[in-house]
């Protein structure tokens, strides 16, 4: 079984209002990622909240997805990854799909392809690429949880990726959403106009 975590603990300072609640193509960022991570192999899902958690929690329909509160969100994105890992029962997951909330435009089909690659080749890290650029979401094997927990706040999960160059499987995609970081109003306007989905 795999787990999936929507990482939504940041302050949304550049966006000006909570990113999880922003809408594009008729859905909030969180709704897009909840849809994308529905898969028979994904048995545990988490939404990690930090800044503005109570407002966001009150305005999203998480359904049966657990909400995890990251009390150390000021330390950066890695703190939300740590909160997600610590929320998982010991030994319950083979890997974790990390979905930053500001990369909402990824499809269920793409996530299924990443999972298929993770299951097929035994690599510890699976990452999508668009035009040669690595993007999100990324799957980390449970064998790397301890390294993610111990990584430095400044470097974040990239520290673990860099430590295992031979353990990375890349999945090429034509979905530009894997590299579209919608973290400010102008990026959101451009993506809305371009019809990326």
Note the pTM of the prediction, 2 decimals: 0.95
Position 64 scores a pLDDT of: 86
Nearest to 178 by CA among 126, 143, 122, 117: 126
- φ and ψ at residue 16, rounded to 5 degrees: 95, -15
**H or E element: which one contains 171?**
strand 168-172
Contact 96, 22 (CB under 8 A): no
Percent of the chain with pLDDT over 90: 90
CA angle 55, 60, 63 (to 5 degrees): 135
Number of residues that this document lists for the chain: 197
Task: Tell the burial category of 76 from Cβ atoms under 10 Å away from its Cβ (0-12, 13-18, 19+).
Answer: middle
Position 101 scores a pLDDT of: 97
Helices 29-36 + 108-121 axis angle, to 10: 40
Q: What is the pLDDT of residues 26-81, one digit of tens each?
A: 999 999 999 999 999 999 999 999 999 999 999 998 888 999 999 999 999 999 99
Instruction: Check pLDDT > 80 for residue 113.
Output: yes
Q: What's domain 2-194's superfamily in CATH? A: Spore Coat Polysaccharide Biosynthesis Protein SpsA; Chain A (3.90.550.10)
**DSSP characters for 57-73?**
HHH---TTPEEEE-TTG
Position 196 scores a pLDDT of: 55
Position 12 scores a pLDDT of: 85
Tokens of 152: 């430095």
Identify which has the larger pLDDT, 12 or 141: 141
Q: DSSP state, 151?
A: S
Q: pLDDT averaged over the chain?
A: 95
């Amino acid at each position: 079984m795999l787990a999936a975590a929507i990482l939504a603990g940041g302050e949304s300072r550049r966006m000006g209002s909570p990113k999880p609640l922003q809408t594009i193509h008729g859905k909030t960022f969180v709704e897009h990622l909840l849809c994308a991570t529905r898969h028979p192999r994904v048995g545990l899902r988490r939404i990690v909240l930090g800044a503005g958690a109570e407002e966001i929690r009150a305005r999203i329909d998480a359904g049966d997805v657990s909400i995890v509160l990251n009390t150390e969100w000021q330390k950066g994105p890695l703190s939300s990854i740590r909160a997600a890992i610590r929320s998982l029962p010991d030994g319950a997951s083979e890997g974790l799909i990390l979905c930053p909330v500001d990369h909402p435009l990824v499809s269920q089909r793409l996530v299924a392809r990443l999972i298929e690659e993770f299951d097929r080749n035994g690599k510890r890290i699976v990452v999508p690429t668009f035009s040669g650029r690595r993007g999100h979401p990324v799957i980390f094997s449970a064998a790397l949880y301890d390294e993610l927990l111990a990584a430095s706040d400044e470097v974040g999960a990239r520290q673990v990726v860099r430590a295992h160059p031979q353990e990375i499987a890349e999945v090429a995609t034509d979905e530009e959403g894997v590299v579209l970081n919608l973290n400010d109003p102008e990026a959101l306007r451009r993506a809305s106009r371009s019809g990326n989905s």
